[in-house]
C-alpha cells in the first residue's frame, strides 16, 4: 500500500509538470514506486534498473519527455485525496 501512495504522489507531481526526484526517500522505495507507475502503464518515460538477479533496485531514469498516460489520469482521479 505504501508503494501505491508514493506512486500516487509522484504521479500528481508529474501531472503538474514537475519531474519527480528521489530526495530523501531511499532508492528502493522510490524505485518501487516508479516501477509501479511504469508496470501499470500510468506514466511513460520511466526506466527502473535492477541488479542481475532482478530483485534489488540499483538505479532509475526519467526522460525529459515523460508523461502521464490516460490510465494515469484515471488512477489520479480515482484516488484523489489519498496521496497524503
Residues 6+ apart with CB under 8 A from 33: 3, 6, 7, 9, 10
Q: Is residue 84 part of a domain?
A: no
Residue range 24-62, pLDDT digits in tens: 989 999 999 999 999 999 999 999 999 988 789 999 999
For residue 9, the enclosing domain spans 2-78
CATH number for the domain including 73?
Answer: 1.10.10
Task: Please compute the mean of the pLDDT values over residues 72-81 and round it to a whole number.
Answer: 90
Please state, in angstroms and rounded to a whole number, the distance separating the CA atoms of residues 43 and 26.
21
Question: What's the whole-model pTM score?
Answer: 0.88
Q: How many domains does the chain have?
A: 1
Amino acid at each position: 500500500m505504501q508503494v501505491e501512495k508514493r506512486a500516487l504522489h509522484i504521479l500528481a507531481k508529474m501531472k503538474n509538470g514537475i519531474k519527480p526526484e528521489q530526495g530523501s526517500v531511499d532508492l528502493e522505495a522510490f524505485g518501487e514506486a516508479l516501477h509501479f507507475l511504469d508496470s501499470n502503464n500510468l506514466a511513460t518515460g520511466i526506466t527502473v534498473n535492477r541488479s542481475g538477479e532482478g530483485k534489488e533496485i540499483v538505479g532509475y531514469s526519467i526522460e525529459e519527455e515523460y508523461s502521464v498516460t490516460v490510465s494515469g489520469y484515471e488512477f489520479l482521479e480515482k484516488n484523489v485525496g489519498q496521496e497524503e
